[in-house]
Amino acid sequence: GRLEAVTQQMGYHPQYLDSFLKMQHYLMHMDGPLPFDCRHYIAIMAAARHQCRYLVNLHVLQFLRAGGDPQWLRGLDFIPPKLRNLNEINKILAHRPWLITKEHIEKLLKISEWSWSLAELVHAVVLLAHCHALASFVFGCGCEQDEGPGGRGVLKPLSPGNQCFCEATTGNGCSQELLRINRKRSLDSCMELDSLRERMQRIHMETEGREETRLLQQDREEGERHEWRAEHRAAPSAGLSPLADADGAVTSAANLACYMQDPDFGYQDFARRDEDQTQVFRVQDYSWEDHGFSLVNRLYSDIGHLLDEKFRMVDGLQSSTMAKRQGCEPSVFKRGIWNYIHCMFGIRYDDYDYAEVNQLLERVLKVYIKTVTCYPEKTNSEMFDRFWKQFKHSEKVHVNLLILEARMQAELLYALQAITQYMV
């Protein structure tokens, strides 16, 4: 399965993986304000902002499995206005979250036929932040490996050597039972994929059949009708489903542009010298622990606890070797990475000396962290290889987990603060 690459990498830190999977399962598959097909479509929109085919493909299949309308997969022009209206905050949160305001929230919540409820919006915001941050992890660990036309195909997948996934997560040898379960999951995934391919092929054939009927009615002469049929058989239809090629095989969103508007909108440095200084977000005024946690938990029951557990879990991961290599305590090194990521999004801690960042993080590491955090789709093989030289594999994954969680919390802080301002 496609998800295996992500779980395999996170498996180097099994306690974190358990926390991550619990939160993601609750977010995507348990009771909540949003319908299941909408959840996966929002995930598609979020992943598309970073051109993350890995996640788009995954959620396209899960969207169909949840009973989603295949027509929605043609792009934003084919989805309900309520979902399409989410595009603006998706774009802002993905690239410049400091620009989100209570006016953006008010626009979505205003009374109309397509308005969102507060609970629905909080669910959507958590989904967007989760998928944006997960895209960073996917690119950072080399899980994005699209070999198709136009695909980057630069990063090689990082495998845990000779260990299989359950060995990496438990530190013990695999039992035959675990191997059997893993193989069965792989077979089940293949069977589901085959079923979805058949479904898409059937939808494609039905669509072509209706189109052919309409055109045949317009062709009054028998010769013209036969000519059109011959041409139609010889060349792929221009109206193919975005999930099927000429042979009916699933290609899963070859053109991600259909899932986003304003594709040129991207990250800009928070403190641009040629612009007025944007208001700095001070954690002392609005923090996850004192404000964000209670708000999100009140509007979307229990998700706050699961998010909080995940934030705490990544903070508690052991990194003594990694920190010793940098000549500092583990907590100091991790806080330097976390605060550097938040600083790039305009979030500042009054009790932190930011001069420490330059002392703790060498330039190559800072470039890597900034790229994976702010524009992960630009991660290239050279940057990838240079970064890996000084760390063990588990340490590399640890850095990417810090990026994932720090980025997700940053986006949530801005969105939840704007919701709080609207409610006040």
> In this structure, what token pair is assigned to residue 194?
């085959």
Q: What are the CA-CA distances from residue 8 to residues 17, 192, 251, 318 (Å)?
A: 9, 21, 24, 18
Confidence (pLDDT) at 270: 79
> In this structure, what token pair is assigned to residue 89?
């905050």
Confidence (pLDDT) at 348: 93
Q: Exposure string (b/e) for 392-403, b if CB count within 10 Å is 16 or more? A: ebbbbbbbbbbb
The structure's pTM equals 0.76
Q: For 184-251, give the DSSP string.
A: HHHHHHHHHHHHHHHHHHHHHHHHHHHHHHHHHHH--SHHHHHHHHHHHHHS--TT--TTB-TT--B-
Q: For 251-285, give the DSSP string.
A: ---S-GGGG-S-TT-----SS-TTSPPPPPEETTT
Q: Which residues are catalytic?
A: 52
Q: Where are the domains of the chain?
A: 14-145+257-423
Per-residue pLDDT of the chain (424 residues; tens, 9 = 90+): 344 789 989 999 999 999 999 999 999 999 999 999 999 999 999 999 999 999 999 999 999 999 999 999 999 999 999 999 999 999 999 999 999 999 999 999 987 888 999 999 999 999 999 999 999 999 998 887 543 333 333 344 443 333 323 333 334 333 344 334 444 444 444 454 455 555 555 555 554 555 454 444 544 444 444 443 343 333 333 333 334 333 333 334 458 899 988 888 989 887 654 444 557 899 999 999 999 999 999 999 899 999 999 999 998 887 666 666 666 777 888 999 999 999 999 999 999 999 999 888 888 889 999 999 999 999 877 776 677 677 788 888 999 999 999 999 999 999 999 999 999 8
Nearest to 57 by CA among 249, 192, 250: 250
Backbone angles phi, psi at 390, to 5 degrees: -95, -5
Confidence (pLDDT) at 147: 37
H runs (alpha helix) in 66-157: 81-84, 87-95, 102-109, 118-140
Nearest to 93 by CA among 420, 424, 416, 423: 416
Q: Exposure string (b/e) for 307-316, b if CB count within 10 Å is 16 or more? A: bbebbebbee
Q: Exposure string (b/e) for 11-35, b if CB count within 10 Å is 16 or more? A: bbbeebbebbeebbebbbeeebbbe
What is the spatial distance between Cα 306 and Cα 393, in angstroms, rounded to a whole number?
27
What is the spatial distance between Cα 354 and Cα 369, in angstroms, rounded to a whole number?
16
